[in-house]
Amino acid sequence: MALSDQAILDYIARHPGAGRDAIRRSVASDVSETTVWRALKRLVDEGRLEVAGRGRATGYTIAGSAVVRAHLSTPYNRRPPLTYRPEFLDSYIPGKTWYIAETDRERLHAAGQPAGGKLPAGTYARRILEQLLVDLSWASSRMEGNTYDILQTERLIRFGEEAAGKDRKEALMILNHKEAIQYVVDSLDDIALRRVDFFNIHALLSDGLLTDPGMAGRLRATAVAISHSSYRPLDDAVIIGEEFDIMLAKAAQITDPFEQSFFLLVHIPYLQAFVDINKRTSRIASNIPLLKADLAPMSFVTMNDADYIDGLIGIYELNNVSLLREVYIDSYLASAEKYRILRAEVETPEKAALAYREFVREAVRRCVLEFQEFRAAEVMDMAEQAEIPEGDRNAVIAYVGEQVRGLHEGNVIRYRLKPQNIVGLRRD
């Protein structure tokens, strides 16, 4: 048979990762290996194919999102039925396989770095939590057809105020997102890519939304269907469990937080490990690597919902990550900036700043005018003499120390001091 580019592309679209020998046998067995190699090389050079591996381990996949768009131009009920392919997950080798190219990962890292330098672990996530709760809860719910707008979502999350005329299910969906996001941030030191963490996220997201509440936080044992797709996920509970564990093991070995994040966004929906709420679980879980690395989160606020769904269908039916990757990168770059600038104002002032305002003022003045440094023991004596409750003393003393170390000529007026008073002040 004659060798044609389209025949090669069609075969690789159906068999992502296929090697040169398999392509030759199936597409043009009567032509030489050299001819096939030249055709494949040309398609790679033209950007129509991507290649991974070396020698006999070389495999080819369709490059770019155009092939996914072309595939989706055929109505889903006329596309051939497709089932779960374990080789899609098996072919991913952490540290060797990359869904996101190095140059793109560098761009994402640069965009996601918070302004102002490194903070203590977990501090960044807590500072942006209030905004993230609203943004991610709204965007992820919107992607499921929820009709709350972002202001209604904010009122619901902050004040428990349901929007008039809305289905109660919509409010519950948003509040479940709030709980799941809060869980991730509160557990950031301990959370990892383990079964229990994914089960917890799914259980929080699905609270009150499943016909069978016993399926919340549990792998499914029944068949499911994907709307508007010819893809049919696994229906064997044992294999689902095995593939779930393989997925988690591979995810845990990925060192780059963006690659890890995107891997979860791809493979949780593809496996459909839960009876429902898989995409929501993947969107929350995809933020774990980013928040643990003190990077701006993926809020999904700027993501185009239709492109996201098309990208997932490209994964379901072609095992092609190109369109979803394109959507992920563009969305992250567009939304990360708002999280880079940390709030300069604290969310909740220290108790010492209000309840012990006069004591703090006098302690700071004494440290400056008498000691020329912060002395914890002397301030403790002052606190005892002032009869500050024992339970509050350590926090008050620590607060005084922070104020002394933070003094400069522009803020000494707060303690009725003058710039010359802090000349020679020791701050170590």
HEC per residue, 110-149: HHHCCCCCCCCCCHHHHHHHHHHHHHHHHHHHHCCCCCCC
pLDDT of residue 125: 78
Q: What is the distance between the alpha carbons of residues 187 and 174, in angstroms, rounded to a whole number?
A: 20
Is 4 a residue whose pLDDT tops 90? no
Mean pLDDT of 354-372: 93
Give me the long-range contacts of 380-389 (CB less than 8 A, separation at least 24): 383/359, 386/359, 388/356, 388/359
Residue 43: the pLDDT is: 83
Q: May I ask the CATH class of domain 5-63? A: mainly alpha
* Residues 376/401, Cβ–Cβ less than 8 Å: yes
Nearest by Cα to 337 from 186, 112, 62, 130: 112
* More confident call, 219 vs 47: 219
Fold of 88-340: Fic-like fold (1.10.3290)
Looking at residue 193, the DSSP 8-state letter turns out to be: S
Q: Give percent above pLDDT 70 in the chain.
A: 93
Please check the confidence at residue 342 and state whether its pLDDT lies above 60.
Answer: no
Mean model confidence pLDDT for the chain: 90
Mean pLDDT, residues 176-193 taken together: 94
Token pair for residue 329? 């990168």
Quick check: 285 pLDDT over 70?
A: yes
Residues of each domain in the chain carrying CATH 1.10.10.10: 5-63
Tens of pLDDT along 288-339? 999 999 899 999 999 999 999 999 999 999 998 999 999 999 999 998 888 8
pTM exceeding 0.85:
no
> Cβ(314)–Cβ(72) under 8 Å?
yes
How far is 306 from 315, CA to CA, in rounded Å? 14
**Sequence ranges of the chain with CATH classification 1.10.3290.10:** 88-340
pLDDT of residue 350: 67
**Residue 344: what pLDDT?**
45
Categorize the per-residue pLDDT at 365 as very low, low, confident or very high, splitting at 50, 70 and 90: very high
**pLDDT at position 18, please?**
85
Question: Which range, of 13-17, 107-111, 160-164, 304-308, averages the lowest pLDDT?
Answer: 13-17
Residue 345 has pLDDT above 60, yes or no: no
pLDDT digits (tens, 9 = 90+) for 258-273: 999 999 999 999 999 9
Q: Answer whether residue 371 shows pLDDT above 60.
A: yes
pLDDT bracket for residue 240 (50, 70, 90)? very high
| pLDDT at residue 28 greater than cutoff 90 | no
**Distance between CA atoms of 277 and 312, rounded to whole angstroms?**
14
What average pLDDT score do residues 22-45 get?
A: 86
